[in-house]
Amino acid sequence: MAGAAGLALAPFEKLFAVSDPYSRKGSDLKVGLAAYSFRNHFEFMKGKPNRNLLEGAPILDMPGFVDYCGEHGVEGAELTSYFFPPEVDDAYLAECRLRAHVNGVAVSGTAVGNNFSYPKDAPERAEQMEYVKQWVDHAAIMGAPHIRVFAGKHPKGVSEEEAENNAIEALAEAAEYAGAKGIFLGIENHDSIGTADRLLRIVTGVDSPWVGVNLDSGNFHSDDPYADMEATAAYAVNVQLKTELKVGGKKETCDFERVIGILQDQGYAGYVVLEYEEQEDPFEHVPPILEQLQKLTA
């Protein structure tokens, strides 16, 4: 990216558009926790009663999850959109921000499940754009600087190349709206984005300072996911860390120390958000993982 010497000579967007990695002064990692880790303990799931609620297990609402983060020394709480009440109002969003602040926890971001692969004139595209922009507004109320977004699966009748171009075009529109509110959109390696080269092709294709990589350690589908992480870390605006990853299609335990080393070597500064996807009780298994990450990032 362009150096600081040109700050007075060119618009922000031109200086810092993510066609090159973000320019940072050094690596600074903060441990976060995704609400998705407790997905079977929230009352709601994508606007409906959560069918996966475990009988007799603790039930969380989002302010309660923020409290949990504070109790466990978590620096950033990722408030996944799926688990908010239907028709969530501004007062509820503000309550999440209040609880975060008094607990000394930052709302590191939220996450949506959009699909931007539809053609521009498709009604689904308009619906998805409205959905993402609505969560930009919600994020602004909560003080969340980042939203995890998807490019999406390509619909029937749309080629992979067309879907990719559609996603780039839609992300550019969403980025203009989000950037005006100071909110980053992080594109996750998800759905058909399983390699670093495709992820970076989309991110750099959008060419906005407000669009970067949401690096998910468990979602690369290559023979060397660690190499994919190394290639994308400098473009990251958020990192989601999982306990397992796939190497050549086979599940392996994620080497946290290696991942943290990659992030530090690539100069990533920001949240490393634990997204616990295993089936075991998160109330039992999440705390020791958080302690491990806190030691590795200290």
% of the chain exceeding 90 in pLDDT: 87
Number of domains in the chain: 1
Residue 14 lies in a domain: no
Residue 4 lies in a domain: no
Q: Are 259 and 227 in contact (CB under 8 A)?
A: no
∠ CA(46), CA(180), CA(138), 5° rounding? 25
Rounded mean pLDDT of 39-51? 97
* 94-108, 188-202, 255-269: range with lowest mean pLDDT: 188-202
Residue 9 lies in a domain: no
Residue 109 lies in a domain: yes
Residue 15 lies in a domain: no
Question: The domain containing residue 88 runs over which residues?
Answer: 23-297
**Which domain CATH number covers 216?**
3.20.20.150
Cα separation, 153 vs 160, whole angstroms: 9
**Nearest residue to 135 (alpha-carbon basis) of 189, 192, 81:** 81
The answer on pLDDT for 210 being more than 90 is: yes
Look at the alpha carbons of 162, 17, 1, 272 in this order and tell me if their dihedral is positive or negative.
Answer: negative
Residue 19 has what pLDDT?
A: 65
Query: Whole-structure pTM over 0.75, yes or no?
Result: yes
Residue 16 lies in a domain: no
Residue 16 has what pLDDT?
A: 43
Residue 2 lies in a domain: no
Residue 112 has what pLDDT?
A: 99
Residue 20 has what pLDDT?
A: 80
The answer on pLDDT for 58 being more than 50 is: yes
Q: How confident is the model at residue 103 (pLDDT cuts 50, 70, 90)?
A: very high
**Nearest residue to 148 (alpha-carbon basis) of 77, 237, 208, 235:** 237
The answer on pLDDT for 9 being more than 60 is: no
Burial 122-159 (b: 16+ CB within 10 A, else e): eeebeebbebbeebbebbbbbbbbbbbbbbbebbeebe
Q: How confident is the model at residue 15 (pLDDT cuts 50, 70, 90)?
A: very low
Residue 150 lies in a domain: yes
